[in-house]
Amino acid sequence: MYQGLLAETVTVVGHNDDEIGAYLARPLGPGPFPGVLVIHHAPGWDTATKEIARRFAYEGYIAICPNLYHRFGPDLSTDDAAAAARAGGWVTTEQFLADAAGALRHVRGLPVSNGKVGAIGYCSGGRQSFLAACELPVDAAIDCYGAFVVNGSPPEMPLRMEPVIDRAPKISCPILGLFGVEDTRPSPDEVAQIDAELTRLGKEHEFHSFQNAGHGFFAVDRTMYRVEAAVEGWRLILDFYGRHLA
């Protein structure tokens, strides 16, 4: 069977009608293909996250990963953009949601789209994927170890990260949560609280917590990588999207 994919940077219209960069990877061929919004982690629009987008394309999805740090400098290196984000207060929830909405529109506007788009995010992107499930028209959402969903940031932190669990009544799609039992943010107790709240609200969801894994177990370029959790995690992701985005 022939396999091929196209990966390139594109422009999407985001918050304030700003044009921002996005990495788009999709299978070659006429489709129709489902889409995935890939939300990068706090270290930025980096090589490993773009590799995740290409993996989704390999698996038959149109993956789009907007550069949430575009406004700090579209041509900055990944580490410089992350430094600018640290110094500049990261990005607001409002800006993220509008940028993500622009990426969703871009995918759905492609002739090869089947109209369905899921969201997935890692680390800070996990919380943002949860936000997308609450606020945006996504068809399935995956939260990979997102912190500050049920508890906000500690009061001693200068940057306040608000919890987002209060938005859960607005969730309009199934949720998959993937966590490590050794993580501290989110801790197993926090994961249990999110799970319980989604159950209480009658929101379709499935949570998996992996032994011998902490935060960031999908990160192939970091010491947190855990092969068993990552391999099983990818299987669960593809099964979940296969059921909800086909």
Q: Where do contacts with other proteins occur on this chain (CB under 8 A)?
A: 41-43, 72-73, 76-84, 86-87, 90, 123-124, 145, 147, 153, 157-159, 161, 183-186, 214-216, 222-224
Give one word for 203, left, alpha or beta, with left for phi > 0 and alpha for psi -120 to 50: beta
User: Which CB atom, from 29 or from 152, has the smaller least distance to other proteins?
Assistant: 152
Is residue 183 a contact partner of residue 113, using CB atoms and an 8 Å limit? no
Q: How far is the CB of 227 from other proteins (least distance, A)?
A: 16
Alpha carbon distance 223, 216 (integer Å): 9
User: Which CB atom, from 78 or from 113, has the smaller least distance to other proteins?
Assistant: 78
- Strand 205-210, strand 19-27: pairing: unpaired
User: Which CB atom, from 24 or from 131, has the smaller least distance to other proteins?
Assistant: 131
Of 42, 47, 123, whose CA–CA distance to 84 is shortest?
42
Q: How far is the CB of 76 from other proteins (least distance, A)?
A: 7
User: Which CB atom, from 32 or from 214, has the smaller least distance to other proteins?
Assistant: 214
Q: How far is the CB of 204 from other proteins (least distance, A)?
A: 26
Q: How far is the CB of 58 from other proteins (least distance, A)?
A: 26
Alpha carbon distance 197, 180 (integer Å): 19
User: Which CB atom, from 62 or from 65, has the smaller least distance to other proteins?
Assistant: 65
Alpha carbon distance 230, 104 (integer Å): 26
φ/ψ of 51, rounded to 5, equals -65, -35
Q: How far is the CB of 96 from other proteins (least distance, A)?
A: 14
